[in-house]
Amino acid sequence: MKVLVTGATGSVGGRLVPRLLEKGHEVRIMVRDPARVGGRPWSSSVEVVQGDVEDPDSLHPALAGVDTAYYLIHLMGAGGDFAERDRRAAENFVAAGQHLRHVIYLGGLLPEAEDVSKHLASRAEVGEILRAGLPTTEFRAGPVVGSGSASFEMVRYLTERLPAMIAPKWILNDVQPISIRDILSFLTLALERNPAGVYNVGTSPLSFKGMMQEFAEVRGLRRVIVPVPVLAPRLAALWVGLVTPIPNRLAVPLIEGVVHPVVADTSRARRDFPEIEMLTYRESVARALQQTTKNAVATRWSGALGSAPAFELSQNQGMIRETRSYRTTADPDTTFDTLASLGGERGWLFWSWAWSLRGVLDQLVGGPGLRRGRRHPTEIEPGDAVDFWRVERADRPTLLRLRAEMKVPGRAWLQWETIPEAEGTQLVQTAIFEPIGLAGQLYWNALYPIHKIMFSAMVRRIAELAAQEAAR
């Protein structure tokens, strides 16, 4: 069967694609930036179409010739009025997909309360739009537990970093988490079924406090959690943003979604999909931790964020380039390996305090800062988030280019090229900046003295580290 997958750069979509390929399906993916999937192991096995649900004209080529599509898009992390954008996107998809036989959509469980969070209400509205206009199966799920998922990472960092914590009383509310493995099973099996409306899916109800306590037990930790009748969701989200890698703009809707109990009747899903033996929350945590420990995180929440309109490096008038080079005795492959390990826990090799300060300043103005880290300590693919950078090109062993997603008055890149020589490699590092207006020019000029020291030392340290690795 020929299937379209939207949201293939997301945590769920990026894992669904190889599942569908294993089942023998012909898969087409629609992405705004094809470069963001270029390094995936399955990228050569799928048809890649550039498109955007917010651009109606781009949907027709993506949908042509397919009769089943996965709608795995929500614009929660994109900023602005995401609910309105999600509404228009769903309407665009319905208008362009009138020929579709089946749409499979992943939404969220709904609480019975009247004041449903904006995030969950938006997810439900998208489902209603799809079901009203197209034959649709909608799976409504609670927090997804899997290596790299935002919900799992929030629980993991809070529990691992805080031996004792004061938490809002609504952490006693029950939710229904679900393993990423089981979500993928439902999505895959639905392809073999007729459109069937809404399914609620999830494990046995468990409070958010219970989720943290069970996580601690699996990790062999002892934690004290004291609920108190204070801490509004937005205040709690600020705390989450300080303690975990989850940015405030993502933490707020996640937290608002558990202010009320989110428990639903899942009997219909269990009846119609008896072949799925769902993991318990504890089993899901153990599997996720195993993947994290093995550095086998296939997708990560940060892979879908930074979803501002895509741009790539081009030769535009007024661009500023600062190029520095350094010779190393290492070969290009070893040099590239060193480049590919920058960021995350390894850091940026020089003036770590300055990078940390830049990350904090970026967070204060709404940027990602350094908290996103990286998906894997050494592997790197186009589309990966690396702290406040996004991998734009990763052409082993010749070129690595990072695109800045920090808040700056312009567009910025950091690029390295490896040029083989008789006795090693010439490493060429280029900082590129396209200023926007006078603010951009002032920003670059003000930082030039710092850049001169920092970038000169960085290329030298990379070359030296590569030589050390080669000598081992």
Q: Per the structure, how many domains does the chain have? A: 2
Split at pLDDT 50, 70, 90, the class of 155 is confident
The whole-number pLDDT of residue 233 equals 66
Looking at the fold, whether 260 and 339 belong to one and the same domain comes out as no
Whether residue 288 is contained in a domain is answered as no
SS3 content of the chain, % helix, strand, coil (to 5): 40, 20, 35
- Alpha carbons 270 and 391: distance in angstroms, whole number: 41
Count of other CB atoms within 10 angstroms of residue 308: 10
Looking at the fold, whether 45 and 186 belong to one and the same domain comes out as yes
Split at pLDDT 50, 70, 90, the class of 230 is low
Helix (H, G, I), strand (E, B) or coil at 427: strand
- Helix segments in 166-280, DSSP class H: 180-190, 208-219, 233-243, 248-256, 267-272
- Tell me which of 9-13, 146-150, 180-184 is least confident: 146-150
The whole-number pLDDT of residue 307 equals 44
- Alpha carbons 232 and 256: distance in angstroms, whole number: 9
Residue 32 lies in domain: 2-145+172-204+243-279
Looking at the fold, whether 264 and 350 belong to one and the same domain comes out as no
C-beta of residue 181 within 8 angstroms of C-beta of residue 203: no
Residue 338's closest CA among 238, 164, 466, 439?
466
Q: What is the average pLDDT across 126-131?
A: 96
Looking at the fold, whether 262 and 330 belong to one and the same domain comes out as no
Looking at the fold, whether 339 and 270 belong to one and the same domain comes out as no
Helix (H, G, I), strand (E, B) or coil at 207: strand
- Alpha carbons 136 and 196: distance in angstroms, whole number: 7
Residue 232's closest CA among 279, 168, 291, 181?
168
- Alpha carbons 174 and 159: distance in angstroms, whole number: 18
- Alpha carbons 162 and 323: distance in angstroms, whole number: 43
Helix (H, G, I), strand (E, B) or coil at 99: coil
How do beta strands 178-179 and 385-386 pair?
Answer: unpaired
- Alpha carbons 291 and 146: distance in angstroms, whole number: 9
On the question of pLDDT at 92 being above 60, the answer is yes
Q: Give me the residue label for tokens 């937005």.
A: 234
As to burial, measured by CB atoms within 10 angstroms (0-12 exposed, 13-18 middle, 19+ buried), residue 237 is buried
Split at pLDDT 50, 70, 90, the class of 179 is very high
Looking at the fold, whether 265 and 336 belong to one and the same domain comes out as no
- Tell me which of 84-88, 303-307, 349-353, 380-384 is least confident: 303-307
Q: What is the CATH number of the domain that holds 270?
A: 3.40.50.720
Enter the tokens of residue 294: 């093995």
- Alpha carbons 233 and 60: distance in angstroms, whole number: 40
Residue 144's closest CA among 179, 112, 170, 175?
179
Looking at the fold, whether 47 and 196 belong to one and the same domain comes out as yes
Cut 0.75: pTM above it: yes
Q: Hey, what amino acid is at 227?
A: P
C-beta of residue 98 within 8 angstroms of C-beta of residue 134: yes
- Alpha carbons 48 and 32: distance in angstroms, whole number: 10
CA-angle at 380, arms to 374 and 384, nearest 5°: 55
Looking at the fold, whether 62 and 179 belong to one and the same domain comes out as yes
Q: Which residues are 459's β-sheet partners?
A: none
